[in-house]
């Protein structure tokens, strides 16, 4: 690690460590990801993919790549240090106090801008969660950790391998179905719900129950302080059929988000990114004209739907056969991953108390 001074460890995981480092010739601070390289050729190649993909992602709402190198059996990825922590930490620090809606929409718009950028490059993130959304002191939101990302061969291609963090994994992956960038939209919806409630959208006291809840897609409504439009937005992102979920471009065309695009992008690059996004969202908005609906009608519709879902939930019971079916539809790697993470990641008992 010539040229860098390690200041402290800022994170640890199955991949290795995340370090805060200082560049010796400039005194600038960076985040450095230290990854243990597997002995197999295929494993080493997969580890290098993160650096390759991150190097291609140049956007104000994506953690900036500086360089990567290998030394003593490790891969080191040097990137921008986000001094505001991550969204998971931010949510925990709230201690039950809800975020204001305008703050949530500002953060969410920036997340959508970052996700829109990677999807335009045919990249699936595949591990979007609050812990991988980073903040800076000046209010910038950045998507990071591309360790599970996948480059698709074409815009219409699908992926099949199980990856991700169970709380944020969409139903099509649990059911062992091919998936595309709409899986990232589901995960993005999980974060939006989490920002509104300070809780995961799907919670259970066992991983089997968690999978069933995700596949059902039943949610508790948002706290009453949030708008009907926000509730409707989450509902669209949690459509069980991936093709019915909005794209990142469509999300940005929503009136509440479209007005924030210029505000969320730095002035010096609004020409490079903002005008393109604004034009895309404008086209998206005009391509699917809808009748104007007042907020009272939206609220009534949402209340009716919530009542219907609640009735369906009360009438729906799952037998051992149903559980066995879920097991068969989930890939072996998915079940193995869940079992590995059971103790350190889920911590269901403490979460559900």
Residues comprising the binding site for ATP? 33
Cα–Cα distance list, 154 to 55, 159, 184, 201, 313 (Å): 20, 11, 17, 32, 39
Instruction: With beta carbons less than 8 A apart as the criterion, state whether 215 and 175 touch.
Output: yes
Of the residues 86, 127, 145, 184, only one is catalytic, namely: 127
- CB contact at 8 A, 7 and 13: no
Cα–Cα distance, 167 to 350 (Å, whole number) = 15
Nearest to 168 by CA among 122, 120, 111: 111
DSSP state of 346: I
3-state secondary structure at position 207: helix
Distance CA 33, CA 20 (A): 9
Check: CB of residue 238 under 8 Å from CB of residue 191.
no
Structure-token match 């994170």, residue found? 11
Q: Which residues contact 342 (CB under 8 A, 6 or more apart)?
A: 207
What tokens appear for 340 in the block?
A: 């590995």
Give 3's DSSP letter.
Answer: T
Rg (alpha carbons) of the chain, rounded to whole number: 21
Active site (annotated) includes residue 127: yes
Binding positions are: 33
* Length of the chain measured in residues: 353
User: Residue 79, CB half-sphere, CA atoms under 13 Å: how many?
Assistant: 27
> What one-character-per-residue DSSP string does 52-80 give?
HHHHH---TTBPPEEEEEEETTEEEEEEE
**DSSP element (H, E) containing 7:** strand 4-13
List active site positions.
127
């Amino acid at each position: 690690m010539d040229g860098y001074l390690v200041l402290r460890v800022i994170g640890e995981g199955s991949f290795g460590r995340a370090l805060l480092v200082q560049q010796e010739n400039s005194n600038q601070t960076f985040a450095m990801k230290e990854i243990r390289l597997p002995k197999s050729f295929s494993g080493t190649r997969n580890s290098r993919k993160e650096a390759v993909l991150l190097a291609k992602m140049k956007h104000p709402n994506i953690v900036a790549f500086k360089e990567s190198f290998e030394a003593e059996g490790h891969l080191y990825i040097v990137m921008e240090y986000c001094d505001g922590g991550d969204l998971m930490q931010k949510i925990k620090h709230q201690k039950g106090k809800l975020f204001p809606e305008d703050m949530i929409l500002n953060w969410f718009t920036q997340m959508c801008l970052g996700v829109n950028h990677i999807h335009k490059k045919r990249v699936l993130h595949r591990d979007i969660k609050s812990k991988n959304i980073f903040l800076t002191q000046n209010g910038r939101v950045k998507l990071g950790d591309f360790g599970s990302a996948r480059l698709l061969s074409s815009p219409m291609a699908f992926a099949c391998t199980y990856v991700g963090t169970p709380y944020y994994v969409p139903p099509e992956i649990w059911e062992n179905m091919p998936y595309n960038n709409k899986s990232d939209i589901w995960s993005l919806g999980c974060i939006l719900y989490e920002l509104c409630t300070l809780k995961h959208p799907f919670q259970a006291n066992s991983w089997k129950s968690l999978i069933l809840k995700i596949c059902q897609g039943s949610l508790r409504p948002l706290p009453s302080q949030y708008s009907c439009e926000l509730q409707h937005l989450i509902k669209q992102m949690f459509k069980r059929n991936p093709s019915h979920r909005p794209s990142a471009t469509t999300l940005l065309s929503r009136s509440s988000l479209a007005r924030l695009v210029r505000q969320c992008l730095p002035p010096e690059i609004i020409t490079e990114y903002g005008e393109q996004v604004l034009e895309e969202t404008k086209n998206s908005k005009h391509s699917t004209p809808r009748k104007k609906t007042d907020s009272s009608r939206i609220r009534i519709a949402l209340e009716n739907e919530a009542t219907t879902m609640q009735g369906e939930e009360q009438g729906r019971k799952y037998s051992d056969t149903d559980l066995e079916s879920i097991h068969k539809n989930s890939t072996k790697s998915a079940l193995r991953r869940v079992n590995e993470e059971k103790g350190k990641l889920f911590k269901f008992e403490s979460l559900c108390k």
